[in-house]
Amino acid sequence: MSTTEYLVDTNILIYHTKGSPLTIDFINNLISENSFNISILPKIEFLGWDKHTADGYEKCIKLIEHANIYSIDDAVANKTIELKRKNKIKLADAVIAATALANNLKLATRNVDDFKVIEGLEVVNPFE
């Protein structure tokens, strides 16, 4: 299974910075293949957290520098609208799911239940 097909959710980034061996290996493998993908929303959520220490914030910035960041274009916006109209899902989760779907990526997240209602989205939990 090629790792170039993953979009990484915010919680995986958080577990990575907290030292979770499973997510460290997962992210490091993605980085080594130049295939570390995130949506713009996890970048905002991850870096915008108000409880970062100065050192922790710098480490998070360095991690994000390795990522290919997908912006919200018309395809993602339209897919997000569709997902919000069909499913009871938070806006951030809908944007992340829409980004994965619009770009033919699997979503790597520990919050599998947040995305189970999304038809056609392949969700992978690196902890399993």
What pLDDT sits at residue 34? 84
Number of C-beta neighbours around residue 85 at 10 A: 8
User: What are the chain's domains?
Assistant: 7-124 (3.40.50.1010)
Quick one: what percent of the chain has pLDDT higher than 70? Answer: 97
Mean pLDDT confidence for 64-78: 96
Farthest-apart Cα atoms in the chain, separation: 41
Residue 9 has φ and ψ, to the nearest 5°, of -80, 160
Which residues are CB-contacts of 10 (< 8 A; sequence separation ≥ 6)? 41, 42, 45, 46, 96
Which ranges of 1-128 would DSSP assign to H, the alpha helix? 10-17, 21-32, 40-47, 54-64, 74-86, 91-102
Mean pLDDT confidence for 47-68: 94
The answer, yes or no, to whether residue 2 has pLDDT greater than 70, is no
Mean pLDDT confidence for 95-110: 97
Mean pLDDT confidence for 29-49: 92
Mean pLDDT confidence for 47-56: 92
Q: Measured between alpha carbons, how far is 121 from 55 in angstroms, rounded to an integer?
A: 35
Mean pLDDT confidence for 111-123: 95
Contact 61, 55 (CB under 8 A): no
